[in-house]
Amino acid sequence: HIEFDRVKAGSPTAQSQALRRALSLAIDRDTLNQVVGFSGPAAGSPIPPGVPGHDPELESVFDPDQARSSLGEALADLGLDDPADLDLTFLHGTLVGDGPRYLEQQWRDVLGIEVAFTGLEPDQYFARLFSAGHEFDMFWLQWLADYPHPQTYLEPLWACESPANLS
């Protein structure tokens, strides 16, 4: 079982690599795991620990100073002066627990970014998630693997032809 946030393809603001790096570095994933009720270690890759193909060198890093530095780079790239000028929206379902709210708090506390979070009932969430429009920049997704093999994580979520690949 994995839970993660992703950037939706086509989001002009979230296409900034420096912004995505800043958002990632501002997340304390060990605390996030506690918030969402996971007992296992935080993973920095789509293949979790214990599954063949997991690369421990891809572990996530929580580095607020580097996150702020990357945010400064992102603002310059986007032609903005203040984090308050960023317009980011985050879509999540109402059944996912406190993970998205934790991200909201982390991004506000570490980076000074206010993200508009939109919680929807499952049917509305998936309809909007798979719509052609880009009404949001990021989203929260849960994935339950059928069996402990890398293909059950990689192919459905990241293969080019997969309908579930929204990045």
Tokens linked to 141: 């997704």
State which amino acid sits at residue 36.
V
Neighbours of 4 (CB within 10 A): 15
Q: Residues 6-44: pLDDT tens digits?
A: 665 566 677 788 988 898 899 998 888 888 877 777 777
Average pLDDT over residues 114-133: 76
Of the pLDDT bands very low, low, confident and very high (cuts 50, 70, 90), residue 5 is low
Q: What are the start-end ranges of the E strands in 100-137?
A: 116-120
| Arithmetic mean of pLDDT over the chain | 79
Nearest Cα to Cα of residue 97 among 38, 24, 14: 38
Nearest Cα to Cα of residue 60 among 74, 71, 45: 45
Q: Residues 66-84: pLDDT tens digits?
A: 999 999 999 998 888 888 7
